[in-house]
Structure 1
Amino acid sequence: MDNPANDTHHILPTAAWLAEGQASQRDMLASLQVLKAQSTTPFDIIASHRHNRPEIFEFADKVYYEPFAIAANSQGQDIVKSVMPRWQFVLEQAQQNHAKVVLTGRNNIDYENHREEFDAANIRLLTGATSVAALQSIDDKFAFMQQCHQHNIPVADAWRFDTLAELEALLAEHGHQPLCIKPVTGIFAQGFWQLDSGQETGEQYDSFEHLYFTEEKRISTAQFINAYAHSFMLHERPIPMLLMPYLPGQEYSIDVVCEYGEVLAAVTRYKTGKIQHIGYEQTVMDVVIPLIKVFGCDGIVSVQTKADDHGQHRVLEINSRPSGGIGYTTHSGVDLTQIGFAYWLGLTDKPKLADITKQITPCQVRSIMTGVKIEESATE
């Protein structure tokens, strides 16, 4: 449907489409509106989502609801509504709207499976990589780390476990050092915990302290083992996990505009308390640039690194989508959303990393919470 607040009454010659994302769709659409206002070449900005999200849609010229299967329970039975595949719907509507670029946030593997169809329609598909195999390697953190080792990319070590016996065996072998645990696949640090064996500080362990300060993401090793061993959730749905050395150094998030494994633009940031420090750290990028090449990253992705006790930056993961904090880059004088889409829409020449880095002004950013009114008719 058209956004009545931005009704142009005619079809513009080309368009950029942002499909449902994880956390940054609204900020990226806002950046594109600024780019559009500054551009002498008109283009339409399209957003799609499976839910009614007015706080996102207000920054789009045209919006669509992505189809998805609806499961409901009626008299004890599941009912699933058959719908058109999401990728097919987006492709057909993108063709009708003369979209030149489609960036997928969620469901990128589903889109990547049909890259040939988007190519045939002359639509630049941005999924974070250019093959299903690459995206699967990125999503599987254990496979990802193994591939990094094969290409001599500094990466955190990890040992996979699927059972209690495997976990206990790994702890017996590696328990002499600070450790942490996270799932093989996942986002937003879900399932991440730093293990506390009581050996790290030599102080008496206070389990209630970890229950009280949960934002620290620490848990007693014994309590984790007990919870893992008695979990009904894991019994019903096994979750592959990783045991890893806990790296004590500074963690970085790196937002990257890239094309077929080449870094075109990037901004690094790290967090202290509630403050994001934005800039360009070359020692971090020395790890990121070859990493992007190895996995053939394509589009706008984010990378996490953390320094070990020797100060060596080690890769934690690639997220094959824009980060939730990509909007922070605008404060540095470099808006990565605008840089990427201006190029992919044909508004500018191909960005050069060396030129972009010179435009970055280091700064500090604090995020704030805002409210958006949801009309009663828009509630779900």
Structure 2
Amino acid sequence: MEPGEFEFYVTHERENSLISTVADHFGPEVFARKSNMPEGYVDWALEYCENHKINAFVPFLHRIALSAHRDRFAAAGVKLLTAGDHEIMQMIENKPAFLSKIAELGLKGTKYLPFRDLEEFDIAWGILRQQHDKLCIKPAKGIYGAGFRVIHEDLDDYRSMVSGAASSISINLLRYTLSRSDDRVNMMLMPLLEGIERSTDFVCDQGRLIDCVTRSKHADGSRKVAPDALHEDFARKIAAGLGLSGLLNFQTMEDAAGVPHILEVNSRTSGGIGQTIHAGVNLPLLFARSLTGRAYDRPVQQESCSVAENIRWARVG
């Protein structure tokens, strides 16, 4: 970025966060009483923006709640940068609703059946197990893979526990917990996709794709950043179909035939965004410049490279 082009104000719940080393202004994230959340956070964020004369606010916490208050921020001269309006944000964060929507856009999402209790699980299991050898579960809402489990029909639960296999659960233990719990969380039963996992970071503005970079994880442990025409087409259709704006991310997994299935869209910047610069494209800068209406000349060709998981080095392939 050019000297003085932008000025960044950053808040974080940890006062020793490394982001403080690059922010122009850094301060602690102030939380209201838990009983007053997320409304208290919305009020605090608006007051912070007004006091510091913020032009654009990119939230991480309470994005859905904030998206219902875009007019309040606009009235204060602040552009609140959620991926979409409140309805769109609610849909994105609800995986079944999102998968239904992208099917309407002609995109292939992962197959699933919903369940909330043991009876519904048994019905879903009876249907999908006849069609697929391996199945998995995850909550309809969640981030960072929380709640994802691969279901095993012959797993020793004790050995699983002491070995730290947190991503696995036996069908016996799963059925037992469902029968004993009073919670009724919306869950999804899905075929386990074991092909290449890809994560596409993309910048878009009111449904128009500006640029994207696709990262992939391979069976040998390698991670690559490379141009991917198919996932670029996915990004363009997702952005246009949902009218999205921001620096966002979506994920796919390949099935046994090598066909990628869309898993979800993240209405936030991904944790792996630092890897994308090795493709020769500065997505965060493009995002920032898109807010000012500045034109962007896309690189003639992205680079292909391998990257370490800790994002400390790159090798051009």
TM range (shorter): 0.7 to 0.9
Determine the C-alpha separation between the residues in 2 that align with 1:187 and 1:333: 28
Tell whether 2:295 aligns with 1:367. Answer: no
Match of 1:220 in 2: 170
Using the TM superposition, name which of 116-125 and 308-317 deviates more.
116-125
Tell me by how many angstroms 1:83 deviates.
10
Secondary structure of 1:85's counterpart equals: helix
Letter matched to residue 265 of structure 1? D
1:197 is matched with 153
Query: Which residue of the partner structure matches residue 315 of structure 2?
Result: none
Partner residue of 1:152?
A: 106
The separation in 2 between residues aligned to 1:318 and 1:157, in whole angstroms, is: 16
Q: What is the CA distance between 1:140 and its match in structure 2?
A: 0.7
CA distance in 1, matches of 2:290, 2:144: 29
CA distance in 2, matches of 1:53, 1:336: 26
Q: 1:295 to 1:57 in 2, by over 3 A?
A: same
- Determine if the alignment matches structure 1 residue 142 to structure 2 residue 88: no
Residue 265 of structure 1 aligns with which residue? Answer: 211
After TM superposition, give the deviation of residue 304 of structure 1 in Å. Answer: 0.7
Provide the residue aligned with 1:32 in structure 2: none
**Residue 85 (structure 1) aligns with:** 40
Q: How far 1:208 sits from its partner (Å)?
A: 5.8
- The answer for the alignment partner of 2:140 in structure 1 is 184
2:68 to 89, 96, 113: 113
Deviations 1:245-274 (A, max 9, x none): 222321111111111122111110111355
Distance in 2 separating the partners of 1:58 and 1:114:
31
SS at 1:247's partner residue?
coil
Q: 2:248 aligns with which of 301, 324, 339?
A: 301
C-alpha distance in 2 between matches for 1:311 and 1:81: 47
2:32 and 2:40 in contact (8 A); partners too: no
Q: 1-side partners of 2:146 and 2:187: how far apart? A: 12
**TM-score w.r.t. length of structure 2:** 0.87
Runs (4+) of structure 1 moved beyond 6 Å?
81-84
Amino acid in structure 2 at the alignment position of 1:364 = S
Aligned match of 1:256 in 202, 219, 229?
A: 202
Give 1:343's match in structure 2, choosing from 290, 309, 313: 290
Instruction: Indicate if the aligned counterparts of 1:303 and 1:319 stay in contact, CA closer than 8 A.
Output: yes
Aligned match for 1:69, one of 10, 14, 32: 32
Segments of 5+ residues of structure 1 without an aligned counterpart are: 1-34, 72-79, 199-204, 371-380
Structure 2 spans left out of the alignment, 5+ residues: 313-317
Name which of 86, 106, 114 aligns with 1:132: 86
What CA RMSD, in Å, does the superposition of the two structures yield over aligned residues? 2.6
Identity %: 26
Code of the residue aligned with 1:305 in structure 2: it is: T
Rg larger in structure: 1
2:237 is the counterpart of 1:290: yes
1:9 matched residue in structure 2:
none
Using a 3 Å threshold, how does the CA distance of structure 1 residues 360 and 62 change in structure 2: closer, same or farther?
same
Task: Find the residue that maps to 1:172 and give its secondary structure.
Answer: helix
Cα contact 2:275–2:311 (8 A) shared by 1: no
